[in-house]
Amino acid sequence: MEQEGGESGEQREVCPAAERKPNRELEKLLAFKVYKRRWFILLVLCLLNCSNSALWLTFAPVADQSAQYLKASLEQINWLSLVYMVVAIPLSFGTTWMLDTLGLRITLIVGSWLNMFGALLRLVGSLQSLGISAVYPVVMVGQTLGALAQPLIIFTPTKLAALWFPEHQRATANTIASMSNPLGVLLANIISPKVAVTYDQIPVLLLVYAIPAAVICFLATVGIRSSAPPTPPSASAESSGSEPFLQGIKLLLKNKAYLILLLCFGAGIAVFTCFSTLLEQILCVRGYTNDFAGLCGALFIVFGVVGAGFLGLYVDKTKKFIEAIKINMCFSALACIAFSVVSQMRQQTVAVATVCSLFGLFGFSIYPVAMELSVECSYPVGEATSAGLIFISGQVQSILCIVLIQKLTRQLADSPFSTCSAGGDAALSWRVSMLVMAGLCTLFSCSFVIFFNTRYRRLEAEAQTETGDA
């Protein structure tokens, strides 16, 4: 059923929530509406998220070529990616305030311009027109601008879903927007090695990433005309972000269910960050090639995206957020335990690839649903605040987890099967580290299953609004 969209002439769809009450007065029947332009905004967010994550990992798959062209060490090349994590933690608090106070439109447009300027500055620096000594610093400044854009982009899916989508589409919209980030990582791992086969092709590679960033910036600036639709799609959208920022923080710190989710899901993000960051180093010691490690990483992402798609649709239909996450966390812990075992065996390519796929399917797919659950259990706190603190928790715990896991390794006296490119110094035993990672994953999964329980506050508020208007 469609209605005309007022002065703009835009068509808008009447929510099924309203259609279920045929005896309501006309004004109440048309109280909540959804607009077709929501899909355009979602598309822009997905493209922006994908572009930003591709900028993040541009150099990682071609570290040797990048180091040679930029006249930098491998450690300096690693910092081109690590700067995203360093910048995100302090900037995240400002981003949550910006989203809840200044609105979705300004946040997305600022993020798109930072993303574009970062991509263009990297390209300018790579042309060596400023001199050899200035190439790496200029590229690093470009990466830093991209890092500044990341929180503005990655915090947005829950806000967009709440403001523009009806309750039966929110989890799906959040899933689509959130999963565009790992798709960008996957594209970076495919595009970078294909384009930059030799070091002198690095400028071409950066041009390939800069063009989409400029196009996306144009689409965001011209196409996103408002932060929220003229008429909200749901009752909760009317009061989205109604709590002041500092008051929202205080409410979250008093919310037991939210704090459990903050700790346990943040730990889950840390485990997956460790897995993604250290996968090649873990597998090469046992004789697995870099190509195979890349395949396992790709399987992890692809199966995670597929799992997130199905899980988002299921949760949208059933509203069983807690059950879905608890079941998936249990299977994720089992997959992590299995990986800690098979990754230490030689010539088990099928087993390792299968476990990585299952790890992504059950674990990676939790992310968008958990972000929606954070909003449900913390309503009426702003969506950016509740989801943003979980992202910060994940970033902080990721740094701690990576440091811990690396400290627990020990050098092997002999590593005849190692394919690690850095030679004998890189041949480390990851056995204890993997067992500790599996133990942490199991501990926090069990803690969440046992202790977490909450009401769906946002859904309850919407149900009360519909009952009161009936």
pLDDT digits 0-9 by tens, 160-200? 888 888 878 888 888 888 888 888 888 887 888 888 888 88
In this structure, what token pair is assigned to residue 114?
């930072």
List the one residue out of 303, 287, 300 whose CA is nearest residue 343: 287
Quick one: CA torsion of 341, 370, 175, 333, rounded to 10 degrees? 10
Residues 385/244, Cβ–Cβ less than 8 Å = no
In this structure, what token pair is assigned to residue 43?
């598309």
pLDDT digits 0-9 by tens, 352-382? 999 999 999 998 888 888 888 888 888 888 7
Task: For tokens 């958990």, name the residue.
Answer: 370
CA distances from 199 to 25, 64, 126, 417 (A): 68, 8, 11, 29
In this structure, what token pair is assigned to residue 358?
């299952």
- C-alpha to C-alpha distance for 330 and 327, rounded to whole angstroms: 5
Residues 66/59, Cβ–Cβ less than 8 Å = yes
pLDDT digits 0-9 by tens, 35-51? 889 999 999 999 999 99
- C-alpha to C-alpha distance for 307 and 314, rounded to whole angstroms: 11
In this structure, what token pair is assigned to residue 9?
């002439």
pLDDT greater than 60 at residue 1: no
In this structure, what token pair is assigned to residue 95?
């981003």
H-helix or E-strand spanning residue 82? helix 74-101
- Coil, helix or strand at residue 297: helix
Give the pLDDT band of residue 25 (cuts 50, 70, 90): very low
Give the pLDDT band of residue 145 (cuts 50, 70, 90): very high
Amino acid at 311: L
Domains and CATH numbers, the chain: 35-226 (1.20.1250.20), 242-414+425-469 (1.20.1250.20)
pLDDT digits 0-9 by tens, 421-455? 544 445 777 888 889 999 999 999 999 999 999 98
Close Cβ partners of 414 (under 8 Å, ≥ 6 residues apart): none
